[in-house]
Amino acid sequence: MNVDKAKKRILKRVQRGFKGYPQISVEYFGKAPNLATEVVITFLSEENGEPQIQRFTGDKDVREDEAIQSVLLKIIERAGAVTVVESRAVSVIA
């Protein structure tokens, strides 16, 4: 799947806002604020439930990696996530 198409489909889910659970959160991390080398996806099946966390890393910007964006979309779809939260900003890690 094209990276732009995957990002657009994820953004549509994010723009729906909070609709309940299950919920998926997507956060980006990197060594610089303009380069995300890691993405963390967190799944919550219910409020106050135990989060399930999965990480993906890459050598280049994972926000522009076609394979990673496609996998994120598939995870969202297969989990049946009603709410998707995404932080597009990159959290800098030391």
For the domain that residue 26 is a member of, what is the CATH number?
3.30.160
pTM for this one?
Answer: 0.88
Contacts of 50 (CB under 8 A, 6+ apart): none
**Amino acid found at 77:** E
Structural domain contains residue 50: yes
9 found inside a domain: yes
Count how many domains the chain has: 1
* Residue 36, SS3 per DSSP: coil
Question: pLDDT digit string (tens) for 74-90?
Answer: 999 999 999 999 998 89
Q: What is the pLDDT of residue 45?
A: 94
Q: Is residue 89 part of a domain?
A: no
Helix (H) or strand (E) holding 52: strand 52-57
Dump pLDDT digits (tens) for 23-78. 999 999 999 999 999 999 999 999 999 999 999 999 999 999 999 999 999 999 99
Looking at residue 26, its pLDDT comes to 97
C-alpha 27/C-alpha 29 separation (Å) is 7
Residue 94 lies in a domain: no
Residue 92 lies in a domain: no
Q: Copy the structure tokens of residue 55.
A: 């990480």
Domain assignment of residue 35, yes or no: yes
Q: Which domain holds residue 49?
A: 3-84
